Chain A
Amino acid sequence: MGWRVAFIAGLVLAPVLWLLFGALPAIQIDAGYPLLIAAGLIVGVSTRYGAGCTSGHGVCGLSRLSPRSLVATLAFMGSGFATVFVVRHLIGG
């Protein structure tokens, strides 16, 4: 088993480990299935295209003081804020 698979397995098993000691915290997913599928596809393509996400660019890249990751982080924070504004206050408002 490769170390990458082991790391992913650890992430997925974290809630299982948690459940041995107590009830899980709330995980509230309001999006419906069509939106989840669209969002998942976009996140999948884009994180590969931009070579990182909140963890890769946001936490690790900023920790390494990478200018590249700072640009990526500003890009996804900006478009994340804009997307929620459009969805909640322009369309849903």
Chain B
Amino acid sequence: MSRITLSALIAGLLFGLGLLVSGMANPAKVLGFLDLAGLWDPSLALVMAGAVLVGLVAFRLAGQRQRSLLAEPMRLPTARDIDRRLVLGGIGFGVGWGLAGFCPGPALVALGTGDMKAVVFVAAMLAGMALFEVLEGQRT
């Protein structure tokens, strides 16, 4: 395994462990955050704020480099446009997120517990991504 592959694996593990520790891999807890009119659980906002604080420092350091620590070219997102796709995609994602309490990262962590419901959600999510590819292919 190359050092790049290994570092990505460790990053994934760390991200997954963070989601488990913070309770964000638990859809019931996520829905508790999205339920403003119920017994609101602010955890998700606090976890996200904590992650962004760390990210602010990390991306600031990354932005000052031409190459990564493993000497790869830096590849940061370049898209700037705030368009219909971005907003409709965001709104659509929020609907799906609110229906089940799963977003992609936590769903993949839950998949690793072997929970059949997580398996079904991830299968449907991958089907949705494949459906997007098909629809996108027809546009061009």
A and B: partners? Answer: yes
Name A residues whose Cβ lies closer than 8 Å to a Cβ of B. Answer: 1-4, 6-18, 24-31, 33, 35-55, 57-68, 71-85, 87-89
Name B residues whose Cβ lies closer than 8 Å to a Cβ of A. Answer: 1, 4-17, 19-21, 23, 25-29, 31, 34-38, 48, 51-52, 54-56, 58-59, 76-77, 79-82, 85-105, 107-113, 115, 117-118, 120-133, 135-136
Partner of B81, one of A10, A33, A68, A75: A68
Q: Are A78 and B77 touching (Cβ within 8 A)? A: no
Contacting residues, chain A, for B128 (C-beta < 8 A): 40-46, 48
Q: Are B100 and A40 touching (Cβ within 8 A)? A: yes
Give the docked Cα–Cα distance between A5 and B109 (Å): 14
Given contacts A55-B105, A81-B98, contact A50 B81 (CB under 8 A): no
Contacting residues, chain B, for A59 (C-beta < 8 A): 48, 51-52, 55
Give the docked Cα–Cα distance between A74 and B94 (Å): 10
Question: How many residue pairs, one in A and one in B, have C-beta atoms under 8 Å apart?
Answer: 330
Give the docked Cα–Cα distance between A53 and B52 (Å): 14
Give the docked Cα–Cα distance between A67 and B55 (Å): 16
Give the docked Cα–Cα distance between A52 and B92 (Å): 11
Name the residue on B nearest A75 (C-beta).
Answer: B90
Given contacts A15-B16, A28-B27, A64-B77, contact A10 B95 (CB under 8 A): no
Q: Which of B36, B111, B117, B122 has the largest number of chain A CB atoms within 10 A?
A: B117
Contacting residues, chain B, for A50 (C-beta < 8 A): 85-90, 92-93
Given contacts A6-B12, A40-B100, A43-B102, contact A78 B113 (CB under 8 A): no
